[in-house]
């Protein structure tokens, strides 16, 4: 991973956050070459079911049209993060990385995380209390605060 020295404080926060011994669930899609669900690292019943992606030793490839990973509903709280590496080979409209379900709040904040074609981009979304931070390649983007959310209808 390339180190972004522009913001050492954010980098230190990321290191502490990513190497948290309290990590409960993570899914590793490398070597995912069958149609079987991928279970979390704890091995409980929280599964990631793949709908459409091409599976490979290097991870999964989504077409940007109708492929997705569906993670079993589970309750979480406290500090939570979602981390992905994405590499776009082409772009379609609304090539989202994360999708929020149909209930709850809709976060308002940075609408777009620009990525370059054919370059691996590291995206981390971290939620602590009422603040959601999004990092792109180690750089903090605009924080999203609870006041920025509104209920969906």
The gap between the terminal CA atoms of the chain, to the nearest Å, is 41
SS3 146: helix
Q: Are residues 104 and 153 in the same domain?
A: yes
Range of the domain at 66: 25-77
Task: Provide the 8-state DSSP code for 13.
Answer: H
Alpha carbon distance 89, 102 (integer Å): 29
The pTM score is 0.58
Q: Are residues 116 and 61 in the same domain?
A: no
**Hey, what long-range contacts does 90-95 have (CB within 8 A, 24 or more apart)?**
90/64, 90/117, 91/64, 91/117, 92/64, 92/65, 95/64
* Mean pLDDT per 10-residue section of the chain, whose length is 153 residues: 49 52 72 84 78 85 81 76 77 57 46 65 83 85 59 42
Domains in the chain, number: 2
Q: Are residues 54 and 103 in the same domain?
A: no
């Amino acid at each position: 991973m390339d180190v972004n020295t522009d913001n050492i404080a954010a980098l230190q926060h990321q290191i502490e956050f990513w190497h948290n011994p309290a990590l409960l669930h993570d899914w590793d899609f490398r070597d995912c070459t069958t149609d079987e669900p991928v279970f979390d690292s704890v091995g409980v019943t929280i599964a990631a079911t793949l709908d459409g992606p091409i599976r490979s030793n290097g991870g999964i490839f989504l077409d940007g049209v109708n492929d997705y990973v569906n993670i079993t509903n589970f309750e979480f709280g406290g500090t939570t993060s979602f981390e992905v590496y994405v590499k776009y080979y082409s772009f379609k409209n609304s090539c989202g990385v994360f999708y929020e379900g149909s209930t709850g709040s809709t976060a308002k904040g940075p609408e777009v995380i620009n990525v370059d074609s054919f370059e691996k981009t590291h995206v981390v979304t971290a939620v602590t209390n009422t603040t959601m931070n999004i990092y792109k390649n180690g750089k903090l983007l605009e924080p999203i605060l609870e006041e920025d959310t509104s209920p969906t209808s």
